């Protein structure tokens, strides 16, 4: 397995910025199809995902967020030490600490598919994701801080979960009120 801390991954460049799909769209709420072809079409998709993530000033983006039913995400995110990690993970599997080694980080979280809204969401402070890279080779990324949150959030997308599913009803209601208040800033074609 390669490790992002050994050699930082480079995200494919030259992609087109696409509109971000919003919560409620069917593709956002189902388990994504596994990536089985590691070809030029996948590279083009990932380049579009990276371009869209950067245009939206995000730290991660899953394929479903641009309307594509594939289990893949990109990220460019700082860890707890402020070191930027970036990568592509196809068919991600998440590994979280259990028992005494598990500590929760109750910090604000948002989603590019519900832009302009952030609420507190408790997640484990460390996460590791294993999957495949753009060539189909095994890859592993792990970290703490915002990176841990990002790896969990994007893996959730690949499994049909939006972070609002992890919130109680009261907090979820506040999240949607915040998103509604910011809606005028984010048109249907945002960030394209």
Residues annotated as catalytic (active site), given as ranges:
154
CB 99 within 8 A of CB 110: no
What is the token pair recorded at 40? 């030029």
Rounded Cα gap, residues 32 and 159, in angstroms: 6
> What's 126's DSSP letter?
E
Number of alpha helices (DSSP H) and beta strands (DSSP E) in the chain:
3, 8
Rounded Cα gap, residues 48 and 123, in angstroms: 28
Task: Dump the DSSP string for 71-105.
Answer: SEEEEEEE-TTS-EEEEEEEEEEEE---GGG--EE
Q: What is the DSSP pairing of strand 104-111 with strand 60-62? A: unpaired
CB 61 within 8 A of CB 155: no
| CA angle at 52 for the pair 144 and 69, rounded to the nearest 5° | 85
> What's 184's DSSP letter?
G
């Amino acid at each position: 397995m390669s490790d992002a801390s050994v050699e930082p991954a480079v995200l494919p460049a030259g992609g087109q910025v696409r509109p971000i799909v919003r919560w409620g769209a069917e593709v956002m709420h189902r388990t994504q199809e596994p990536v089985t072809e590691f070809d030029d079409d996948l590279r083009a998709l990932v380049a579009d995902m990276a371009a869209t993530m950067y245009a939206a000033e995000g730290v991660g983006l899953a394929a479903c967020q641009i309307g594509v039913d594939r289990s893949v995400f990109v990220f460019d995110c700082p860890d707890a030490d402020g070191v930027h990690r970036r990568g592509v993970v196809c068919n991600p599997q998440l590994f979280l600490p259990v028992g005494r080694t598990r500590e929760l980080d109750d910090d604000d979280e948002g989603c590019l598919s519900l832009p302009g809204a952030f609420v507190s969401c408790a997640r484990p402070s460390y996460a590791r994701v294993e999957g495949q890279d753009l060539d189909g080779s095994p890859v592993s990324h792990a970290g703490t801080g915002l990176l841990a949150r990002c790896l969990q959030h994007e893996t959730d997308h690949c499994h049909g979960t939006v972070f609002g599913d992890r919130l109680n009803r009261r907090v979820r209601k506040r999240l949607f009120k915040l998103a509604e208040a910011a809606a005028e800033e984010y048109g249907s074609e945002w960030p394209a």
